[in-house]
Structure 1
Amino acid sequence: MKVELKKIFQVMPLFFNALAREAEHKKLTRHIINLNQQNSTQAIINEMSVCLKDILNYRLFAFVIQRENGIDVWLDPRMYRKSLEAVLMEDFQLHTPSAIHYMNHTFHVDEQEQEFNMENLLSYYVNEGVCQAKIYMLPNKDTSSYSEDIIHMLLQSTAIALAKQMNIEQLTNAATIDPLTGCYNRREFESQIKKAVATAKRQNTSLSLFMFDIDHFKKVNDTYGHQAGDTVLKEVAALVQKNIRSNDVIARYGGEEFIGILPATEKRKAMELADRLRQAIEAKTINTDVSPINVTASFGVATITPYYDTTDFSDILDLIEEADSMMYKAKLNGRNTVMPGLLQVCGSSREKTATATGTI
């Protein structure tokens, strides 16, 4: 009897191990199905993070996707970026932290730093079609061949889902994004402004536009060449994108003209933002292959206030024309300045003032 009990006790761990692993494989299958049903890069990575925690009790520290102009980083919200930033700079041979774009984390000046022991940090490369990435994890226990198998199965499934999603995003971006500046193109702006006006009307809030043009841009092209001019456009666009809110919209309207949509923004706030952008552009030295270049920009601002009636697209055209008119008035007044539009639409009546004519 004692011998039989001894055999039973010897087999029991193997039996329960087998049951546990079967349950874990069911969880893994469920998570893999879930991540393939997600429709955004961030949602796919979120599901992967949940899976690692659920099955292995591992914490996904960061998921890094390599792009042409830098890296996109999904960062565990409980982590602080400086804990990993030096590692990322070295691993991806980045020259400046500005090449790191954080997908799911907004940092504040007064945010309390948290330091982490990086000695146990594990990293794995992901390579599947257009998806070139690397993940960083902090295990809460020693790794085993079994945990490695789980990780590799999950990585392969995540890579396939991400590659599919990135292909979809590339097709979408080709139709909506200006390839030079990374801003929305004019066609997508027209779609975005319709949505913004409809939202403002529904929520009874103000809506502002700003339009700006890089001053003497033809002279930049004539003096330094079109390649340097393209660099100026890209750098100015990146500067503006970095200094507006996540729900604001910036689009390349044509040539060296850009237009921005500021939801739920009164004219005074829009003017303040436009002037901050103007100052930032003026202060920035843009390094090109030919020579460092400094430029300025002229801004026009227009606002529609609550209680307006936007029953057709002509109301939206009035708003755009007012911002454009104010931009040209800024040029007439010496450039490198901001001019406010006085457009106000109330009910079915419209009042437009302070228009300007002239060719710059």
Structure 2
Amino acid sequence: MISHPFSQLKIKSRMRGLARMMGWVRDTDYRLLNHHLLRMQEKQDLDALLAEIAHCLAAMLDYRLFAFVIRDDTGVDVWIDPSMFRDAFSRIVAEDLGLDSDADIRFMGPTDTEGLQQRIARENLDVRSFEEKDFTAHLYLATGRKLLPYHDEILMTLLSGLRAALVNHVRIRRLEGAVARDGLTGCYNRREFDLQLRRQLATAKRHGNPFSLIFFDLDHFKKVNDLHGHLAGDAVLRTVAREVGQRIRTGDLLCRYGGEEFAILLPETEGQRAADLAERLRSALAGFEVDAGKGLKLRVTASFGVATASGSTDAETLLAQADAMLYRAKEEGRNRVAF
């Protein structure tokens, strides 16, 4: 069949029009990119930089979801917009990164999660990643526009603009991690305990998961210091922290609450499982000797109190319940678990 010359002209005209339109769209996107790159240079912190990138991509690609994930040896940070996808995205990130649970994720940026949470599937997300010496970064997008080849260059340009800020962010987080540790035992300190308790309890409430808290206190510890000196007492505290730390899960947090008192935060753990863990720890501590130096061997025991949060339990109430159980364990003779 022979095409009519007029029809061929119409097709060529439409193709030229489409090419002009695509060129105009591309030029518009690059002008938008340049505008936001200049604005990024004015930002002083990572959160503000990510917000600027979000504004750029919202105007350019009309995204349904924008999220940025940073992972280093201290944990995982996530910046996400809009927050209505936070729960679903937490599960996607946990699976992508091989996390024990999404309780290991720390959120930056918008934190409003009061609205109805929405589902989103992994196959609906486009991902760009890069790796530095000390961290990996991942950009997730669910776009309202089809991604064109030149958008890859735009996305990588935006990521390149973030690199210096990411290096500083990871460095600062490591310094904060050092501040969060108890110098003697290496456990998290009281300040970090208070912060993590509220954070993890809020996560448990949001997902409807169980959450438990263990307090334990070394029995008659004052006698160790009085009879053998503070160096021996320090050896006991370090050994107890090491032995307990080796017997809990990666996602559990061991903290030195104060003096000879410790606490363990147990996400996704209901009461009986927490009590069973406390009993295993009690038995383990009672079953070994601490090398306190100069040939001195000491035996220690500990009393444990266990509390579990319900849907309405706040941090202060959970602390009071765990403390009451610890007191009961001591009143009933020490070297035991109260739940």
**Which residue of structure 2 lines up, in the alignment, with residue 153 of structure 1?**
157
**Which residue of structure 2 lines up, in the alignment, with residue 121 of structure 1?**
125
Cα separation, 2, equivalents of 1:91 and 1:234: 20
Q: Which amino acid aligns with 1:139?
A: T
| Matching of residue 170 in structure 1 with residue 178 in structure 2 | no
TM (norm. structure 2) is 0.52
Q: Which amino acid aligns with 1:100?
A: I
Mapping 1:55-74, distance limit 5 Å: 55-68=60-73, 70-74=75-79
Residues 88/52 of structure 1: CA separation in 2 closer, same or farther (3 Å cut):
same
**Which residue of structure 2 lines up, in the alignment, with residue 228 of structure 1?**
243
Residues 60/29 of structure 1: CA separation in 2 closer, same or farther (3 Å cut):
farther
Q: How far has the Cα of 1:84 moved from its partner?
A: 2.8
Q: How far has the Cα of 1:156 moved from its partner?
A: 2.1
**Which residue of structure 2 lines up, in the alignment, with residue 112 of structure 1?**
116
Q: How far has the Cα of 1:91 moved from its partner?
A: 1.3
Mapping 1:260-271, distance limit 5 Å: none
Q: Describe the superposition over 1:322-355 as per-residue Cα deviations: whole angstroms up to 9, x where unpaired.
A: xxxxxxxx9xx77779xxxxxxxxxxxxxxxxxx
TM (norm. structure 1) is 0.50
Of 80, 94, 104, the match for 1:99: 104
Q: Which amino acid aligns with 1:115?
A: R
Cα separation, 1, equivalents of 2:154 and 2:71: 24
Q: How far has the Cα of 1:147 moved from its partner?
A: 1.3
RMSD after superposition: 5.1
Residues 39/78 of structure 1: CA separation in 2 closer, same or farther (3 Å cut):
same
Q: How far has the Cα of 1:150 moved from its partner?
A: 1.0
Larger deviation, residues 154-163 vs 10-19 = 10-19
Cα separation, 1, equivalents of 2:56 and 2:68: 14
Cα separation, 2, equivalents of 1:21 and 1:184: 54
Q: How far has the Cα of 1:7 moved from its partner?
A: 9.9
Cα separation, 1, equivalents of 2:141 and 2:285: 41
Q: How far has the Cα of 1:27 moved from its partner?
A: 2.5
Q: Describe the superposition over 1:120-166 as per-residue Cα deviations: whole angstroms up to 9, x where unpaired.
A: 31112132343312222102122211111111111222233222332
Q: Which amino acid aligns with 1:83?
A: A
Residues 131/12 of structure 1: CA separation in 2 closer, same or farther (3 Å cut):
same
Q: Which amino acid aligns with 1:146?
A: Y
Q: Describe the superposition over 1:48-75 as per-residue Cα deviations: whole angstroms up to 9, x where unpaired.
A: 2222112222344422221335422223
Larger deviation, residues 62-71 vs 224-233 = 224-233
Residues 43/173 of structure 1: CA separation in 2 closer, same or farther (3 Å cut):
farther
Cα separation, 2, equivalents of 1:335 and 1:284: 15
Q: Describe the superposition over 1:255-290 as per-residue Cα deviations: whole angstroms up to 9, x where unpaired.
A: 54689xxxxxxxxxxxxxxxxxxx99x8583688x9
Cα separation, 1, equivalents of 2:285 and 2:80: 35
Q: Describe the superposition over 1:88-139 as per-residue Cα deviations: whole angstroms up to 9, x where unpaired.
A: 232111222322333343656xx63422354331112132343312222102
Cα separation, 2, equivalents of 1:167 and 1:123: 25
SS at match of 2:93: helix
Cα separation, 2, equivalents of 1:124 and 1:236: 27
Of 132, 136, 145, the match for 1:132: 136
Cα separation, 2, equivalents of 1:64 and 1:138: 15
Q: Describe the superposition over 1:286-319 as per-residue Cα deviations: whole angstroms up to 9, x where unpaired.
A: 688x959985379xxxxxxxxxxxxxxxxxxxxx
Report sequence identity in percent.
24
Residues 173/85 of structure 1: CA separation in 2 closer, same or farther (3 Å cut):
closer
* Number of equivalenced pairs: 244
Q: Which amino acid aligns with 2:242?
A: Q
Please tell me whether the aligned partners of residues 130 and 167 of structure 1 are also in contact (alpha carbons under 8 angstroms): no
Mapping 1:286-297, distance limit 5 Å: 296=304
Of 266, 277, 281, the match for 1:285: 277
| Matching of residue 34 in structure 1 with residue 17 in structure 2 | no
